[in-house]
Amino acid sequence: MNYYQYSAEDFAADDDFKEWVLVPTPETDAYWRSFLAEYPERFYQIEEAKRLVLGLSHIQKEPVTDWQVERIWSRIENTVTSSQTTTPQRWLSWGAGWKVAAAIVVMAGVAWLAQPRFLRGNLVVSVSGIASTPEWTEAVNENDKTMLIQLSDGSTIQLEKNSRLNYPKEFAENNREVYLTGAAFFDIHKNPEKPFLVYSNGLVTKVLGTSFYVQAHTESPDVTVSVRTGRVSVYADKPSPTQDPESKGVVLTPNQRAVYQRSESTISKVLVDAPVLLIPKKQVNLFAFEATPAGQVFAALEKAYGIEVVYDEELLKNCSLTINLSEENLFQKLEVICKVLGAQYKLIDGQVIIYSKGCD
């Protein structure tokens, strides 16, 4: 089934889609979430179709005559024609076009005509769909400059060129969710009771309040998430009826990056290309060492960059350094330290692993 070419109306008419919306199962939910993960640009059509299906499900289905349907369509067309000569209005907050809204009105009108006369005055039709469903907005940055987006919860997003963000005007009660295609920097307002989730080409980034950078271009085989501050949980968007997908993900801390390989659905954790200092500049003198034990030197690195340094304490207990590393970046510091100690280092799983034979 080539769902990629479907419009909102096509989805709403599809039996499998309607079954998922009205009677979801773990299997159907997994299928459609996977579809959205692969084709995030169809997000709008999916949501519009869901609203249409849910709206129609609340309308009484009764057989009516052809002239009744024709009568309703005629009234709708007359209303649309007259509205074009006055102030333009949006029939649907999602911008699905007047046909989707008209379809709801048609079905509502059919149900109204099919009811006994004494019940007709009680039927209320909401063209905008289900009241509890939030209204969504799409931001597309086609300019060379970064686009700043302010969310309803106080969070800010810097959307880069050729990127797209789908977000609700007001977040739901239990969570905060947005959909990203492209690249953006997120600075999320902290709310432990309401997690913030970014869906980006098959990857989910979950935070309570932190800042991070996501690269999720459609043409790229990888999705990356780099953390500036706080902690971030990253996992594949693959729902399972038996296991929480977050349990198979990774947790990132500052200066760490997750790389999600879309084709293999695997996540690896590495250091960012240029780790930044997490301490005030006035504390840079921490890297001026005078006969300082190696353990304290590594502790200073951990504090300054938020990165775990793993080494054999027993082997290095007699090692000390007298050196000033205030001007070097993290990797230059490691190179110098290892040269003085006669050691080597490797970057594994977002950690620095020190290999040494010890000191005499």
Asked if residue 344 and residue 257 are part of one domain, the reply reads no
Asked if residue 261 and residue 203 are part of one domain, the reply reads yes
Asked if residue 222 and residue 118 are part of one domain, the reply reads no
Output the CA torsion sign for 131, 27, 179, 101.
negative
Query: pTM to 2 decimals?
Result: 0.63
Asked if residue 256 and residue 285 are part of one domain, the reply reads no
Kindly state whether residue 257 falls inside one of the protein's structural domains: yes
Of the listed ranges 55-69, 82-96, 165-179, the least confidently predicted one is 82-96
Taking a C-beta distance cutoff of 8 angstroms, is the pair 322, 290 a contact?
yes
Asked if residue 89 and residue 212 are part of one domain, the reply reads no
Kindly state whether residue 276 falls inside one of the protein's structural domains: no
Q: C-alpha distances in angstroms, 352 versus 41, 92, 244?
A: 39, 53, 29
Q: How confident is the model at residue 312 (pLDDT cuts 50, 70, 90)?
A: very high
Q: C-alpha distances in angstroms, 155 versus 62, 135, 177, 235?
A: 47, 18, 12, 22
3-state DSSP call for residue 15? helix
- In sequence order, the 6+-apart residues with CB closer than 8 A to the CB of 24 are none
Write down the pLDDT at residue 187: 96
Last residue of a domain, one of 233, 251, 271: 271
Taking a C-beta distance cutoff of 8 angstroms, is the pair 231, 215 a contact?
no
Element (H, E) at 110: helix 98-114
% of the chain with per-residue pLDDT over 90: 46
Q: How many helices (H) and strands (E) does the chain have?
A: 8, 18
Kindly state whether residue 43 falls inside one of the protein's structural domains: yes
Asked if residue 203 and residue 96 are part of one domain, the reply reads no
Structure tokens at 34: 């996977």
Instruction: Give the residue numbers spanning the domain of 82.
Output: 3-122
310: CATH: 3.55.50.30
Kindly state whether residue 52 falls inside one of the protein's structural domains: yes
Kindly state whether residue 129 falls inside one of the protein's structural domains: no
Say what the alpha-carbon torsion angle 166, 168, 171, 176 is, to the nearest 10 degrees. 0
Of the listed ranges 53-67, 127-141, 298-312, 319-333, the least confidently predicted one is 53-67
Kindly state whether residue 360 falls inside one of the protein's structural domains: no
Last residue of a domain, one of 271, 296, 325: 271
Asked if residue 260 and residue 152 are part of one domain, the reply reads yes
DSSP classification of residue 41: G
pLDDT of 321 strictly over 50: yes
Kindly state whether residue 197 falls inside one of the protein's structural domains: yes
Please tell me the distance from the alpha carbon of residue 66 to that of residue 78, in angstroms, as a whole number: 18
Q: Which residue from 323, 324, 321, 325 is spatially nearest to 341, judged by alpha carbons?
A: 321
Q: C-alpha distances in angstroms, 120 versus 60, 62, 104, 108, 111?
A: 12, 14, 17, 11, 9
196: CATH: 2.60.120.1440
**pLDDT tens digit sequence for 214-271:** 999 988 999 999 999 999 999 988 776 677 888 889 999 999 999 999 888 899 999 9
Q: Which residue from 321, 323, 298 is spatially nearest to 309, judged by alpha carbons?
A: 298
The answer for 15, left when phi > 0, alpha when psi is -120 to 50, beta otherwise, is alpha
Last residue of a domain, one of 122, 145, 161: 122
Asked if residue 64 and residue 39 are part of one domain, the reply reads yes
Asked if residue 101 and residue 194 are part of one domain, the reply reads no
Q: Which residue from 183, 253, 278 is spatially nearest to 224, judged by alpha carbons?
A: 183
Write down the pLDDT at residue 41: 64
**pLDDT tens digit sequence for 79-93:** 545 444 444 433 333
Asked if residue 247 and residue 140 are part of one domain, the reply reads yes
- In sequence order, the 6+-apart residues with CB closer than 8 A to the CB of 43 are 36, 166, 179
Please tell me the distance from the alpha carbon of residue 109 to that of residue 65, in angstroms, as a whole number: 12
Asked if residue 163 and residue 102 are part of one domain, the reply reads no
Kindly state whether residue 82 falls inside one of the protein's structural domains: yes
Q: How many domains does the chain have?
A: 3
Asked if residue 234 and residue 177 are part of one domain, the reply reads yes
